[in-house]
Amino acid sequence: FDEVKDEHFDGLVITGAPVENLDFQDVHYWDELVRLMDWADHNVFSTLYICWAAQAALYHFYGIEKRPLPKKMFGIFPHVVLDRSHKLLRGFDEQFMAPHSRHTTILVSDAAKIRDLDILATSQEAGLYLAASHNARRVFVTGHSEYDAKTLELEYRRDKAAGKPIELPKNYYPNDDDTLQPMITWRAHGSLLFSNWLNYFVYQETPYDINAIPAQKEE
């Protein structure tokens, strides 16, 4: 980090980590992550936070607490688009599928209290999926649209072999038969989400002089 801290970047992706059952302050690299998130607000035009990183950023910037789930949110879930005019959602169907694999969640009602946040897509079962600051300098994805076909299967078989309490991933295997090949139902929208972010909020919006990136301000 020290090698790049004085540079500026068009975009940054901060991914998740299997530490969601810990309090944020108990994660041994929490202070370093806070430093990185604050740095990104000044040195990166748009930052994409995924899964636990989204929860961490929502807590750090807005004070939104993650909530424990009674059991793991695990599988492919239907979501609805709430703002069809938002550029992040251009080309999306009214309903789309996306993977989730997590033990904690962000309540939509908590996110809705934050004036600077646009809630863009939710799921009746999986809850908040996509939100962004008004200027989309911060984008939060609570699921895993980047997962490939076998990721959930590998997680499922790993936990099952370890004797952990794990259910079949929802809406993943045909007829819930784990001897069959998983059905890929999220790839198109996952690719579209990332391409929209790169096109509309990184490529088109980043200043020509990258050193002129303004500091993020909450509205």
Catalytic residue among 79, 86, 100, 144: 144
**3-class state of residue 77 by DSSP:** strand
The DSSP secondary structure of 120-164, one letter per residue, reads EEEETTTEEEEEEETTSSEEEE-S-TT--TTHHHHHHHHHHHTT-
Active site residue 51: yes
Active site residue 60: no
Catalytic residue among 51, 79, 100, 155: 51
Distance separating alpha carbons of residues 9 and 36, to the nearest angstrom: 13
- Looking at residue 87, what DSSP letter applies? G
> b or e along 107-141 (b: 16 or more beta carbons within 10 Å of the residue's beta carbon)?
eeebbeebebbbbbbbbeebbbbbbbbebbbbbbb
Distance separating alpha carbons of residues 201 and 15, to the nearest angstrom: 18
How crowded is residue 181: how many other Cβ atoms within 10 Å of its Cβ?
Answer: 11
- Classify the C-alpha dihedral 38-44-46-52 as positive or negative: negative
What single letter denotes the amino acid at residue 197?
A: W
Distance separating alpha carbons of residues 212 and 186, to the nearest angstrom: 37
Catalytic residue among 20, 79, 100, 146: 146
Annotated active-site positions, please?
51, 144, 146
